[in-house]
Structure 1
Amino acid sequence: MAPVVGIVGTGAVGQSVAAALVAAGLPGRLLLVSRRPDQVQGLCADLQDLAHTARSRSLIEAGEVDDLHGCDGVVIALRSDFTNTARRDIRRGGAAANAPAVGELARQLRGYGGTVLVVTNPVDVMARRFADVSGCSRVFGIGSNLDSARYRILLARYAQVAPARVCGHVIGEHGDRAVVCASTTTVDGRPIAVPVRTIVADLQQRPALIRTGIGRTRYGPAGAVLSTLRKALGLVDGVEELSVPYGDVHLGIPLRFTGGEAVPALPPLTRSERLCLDSAASSLRDAYAQLPALPERIAT
């Protein structure tokens, strides 16, 4: 039976994720949850048109948060209303605004036993907030797998090969403290001298290039969600770089999925790479400590 998937948030990223899933025919049923009924109804209609024209069997409908408990997978792509004025650590610019909404959703999904993919930025911090509040054991942040895809694309361009021939990971924080695992990167199974400074600079400039052109990154995250859901729901086996517990923080590491079950697959790191990863963990620890506290609920 095809899986049931829910998406929370129907803005630019949520819409793109929904379209990717429907076009691929991954969910048998797709539930869309949003605080904007007009938007979710319009998106449902548009996606139903897509499903028919693309010969997809996905059934699309609007839902409520309580309906998500019946889903095999839930994608969190919500975004609170705020203006991001950050010049550095841009992905962290929405931490204070998004944390209350993510925390409240987590409260409503306590006891959920399926797979949760967090896309909302700052994704490493939001994945931890959701996991801490909900108690869910299968919470994965989408971020380092997108960084890794970009890394392989950029390195392939440098090496003048197809991206599929490049094997390499980006780990740590999805953002300015991403760590390139240059020492274990290969092309056709052979080590390659990675121009780390050049590649890192290009990695950091790529989101700005996208934002300048189309306003917001959307299709890359959608592809990362599609690829991860296939593995996390046990449809295919493989490796994804996802934000999961690492010590007392959440950050991106490679996970190997077999039959839907994930085990860490962190490659050997040089001393420099390990120090960079530890620095990212320290920074994420500080960022989490600065989140607004969850308001106490008054018993009624």
Structure 2
Amino acid sequence: MSGGYTVGVIGAGAIGQTVAALLAVEPWCSRLLVTSRTAEAAHGLVTDLEDARQLTAGARAFTAARADMGDADALVICPRATFTNTRTADVRMAGLAANAPVIAEWAHTLTGYPGTVVMVTNPVDVLARYFAELSRARRVFGIGSATDTARYRLALAQHHAVPVETVDGYVIGEHGDGAVICASSTTINGRSATVPLDIVTAELRDRPRRINTGIGRVRNGPSAAVVSALRKLLAVEDGTDVLSVNRDGVWLGIRLQITDGQPTVTPLNLNERETAQFTAARTKLGAAYRIINPEGAPSCR
């Protein structure tokens, strides 16, 4: 299908606003459905998109009731519960207790949803699994490692003073402190690259902090990753992506080849260090999942 897709955006915060604005000018997206925690936020975003459409002739945007979101061909799930994040480590995991009930409510509303779901709400790997298992939707993908991969390539390109297009390398595992930089398989211009792990690890950690300090919240990078993933998952184009999917019961970022909208896992060759880190990320994400119960509340232990 080359056009005419309807995409639902759940959440009208920083990510929801940016995703909607990017989708509105994609030629294959003809309609946007927007819902948020407050009707005021959803109406405000739709009104803003309507204004933009007069100049860009993009997708038409509509506010939608919760029950109507199941009519979309694809959903972008990006609500954020109200909470104060004071962590300096495992920052994304701090949202688990607050965001899980929100995701659970949406999963129950969208039970059996047949379309494509892209989860953005953090901790994204855990909540992608949570939504998939509660809703029984079959095509649920988490965004996170794609953004990490983009940041990694940019950091390495800047370090070596080469065009970013010449860098081929991936970040997999957890979108968070358990991210695995696949340095051993990284290439520049097709040749094995020297990767200063301390420098690129620090840049991957510090980059979101600089964005948050400067503009309040990360938005453009993850939103662009959402749109890039949807192009492939809706069969607009083929390509490689790094998305969180089910690998033997635990959801974590992995490289996928997506052809005609169908993803195929294409594992990377990992060295001993990377294998150990990937195993640790898997263990960590499995443990995090076990602290939420089927209704979304933290389990008492």
Verify: 1:28 aligned to 2:30, yes or no. yes
C-alpha displacement of 1:293: 4.5
Partner of 1:5: 7
C-alpha displacement of 1:45: 1.0
C-alpha displacement of 1:191: 1.0
C-alpha displacement of 1:20: 1.0
Distance 2:75 2:27 in 1: 16
Distance 1:287 1:224 in 2: 24
Distance 2:10 2:62 in 1: 13
Alignment CA distance shift 1:72-1:291 (3 Å): same
Preserved contact between residue 171 and residue 182 of structure 2 (Cα < 8 Å): yes
SS of 1:28's partner is: strand
Amino acid at match of 1:276: Q
Distance 1:48 1:165 in 2: 39
C-alpha displacement of 1:199: 0.7
Amino acid at match of 1:16: T
Verify: 1:55 aligned to 2:57, yes or no. yes
Distance 1:262 1:109 in 2: 22
SS of 2:270's partner is: coil
Verify: 1:201 aligned to 2:202, yes or no. yes
Runs of 5+ unmatched residues, structure 2: none
C-alpha displacement of 1:245: 0.7
Partner of 1:82: 83
Amino acid at match of 2:266: A
Distance 1:210 1:130 in 2: 28
Amino acid at match of 2:130: R
SS of 2:118's partner is: strand
Amino acid at match of 2:191: R
SS of 1:285's partner is: helix
TM-score by length of 1: 0.96
C-alpha displacement of 1:257: 0.5
Preserved contact between residue 99 and residue 292 of structure 1 (Cα < 8 Å): no
Runs of 5+ unmatched residues, structure 1: none
Partner of 2:102: 101
Distance 1:41 1:295 in 2: 28
Question: What is the identity percentage for the equivalent residue pairs of Structure 1 and Structure 2?
Answer: 44
C-alpha displacement of 1:55: 3.0
TM-score by length of 2: 0.95
Preserved contact between residue 17 and residue 226 of structure 1 (Cα < 8 Å): yes
C-alpha displacement of 1:69: 1.7
Distance 1:263 1:228 in 2: 14
Preserved contact between residue 100 and residue 292 of structure 1 (Cα < 8 Å): no
SS of 2:241's partner is: strand
Distance 1:61 1:194 in 2: 46
Preserved contact between residue 9 and residue 76 of structure 1 (Cα < 8 Å): yes
Preserved contact between residue 4 and residue 73 of structure 1 (Cα < 8 Å): yes
Considering only aligned residues, what root-mean-square deviation do their CA atoms show, in Å?
1.3
Distance 2:103 2:218 in 1: 20
Distance 2:180 2:227 in 1: 23
Tell me how many residue pairs correspond in the alignment.
295
Alignment CA distance shift 1:295-1:285 (3 Å): closer
Alignment CA distance shift 1:293-1:133 (3 Å): closer
C-alpha displacement of 1:292: 4.6
Preserved contact between residue 145 and residue 243 of structure 2 (Cα < 8 Å): yes
Distance 1:212 1:54 in 2: 31
Distance 1:13 1:107 in 2: 23
Moved over 6 A (4+): none
Partner of 1:266: 267
Write out aligned runs for 1:112-127 (5 A): 112-127=113-128
Partner of 1:223: 224
Distance 1:254 1:295 in 2: 29
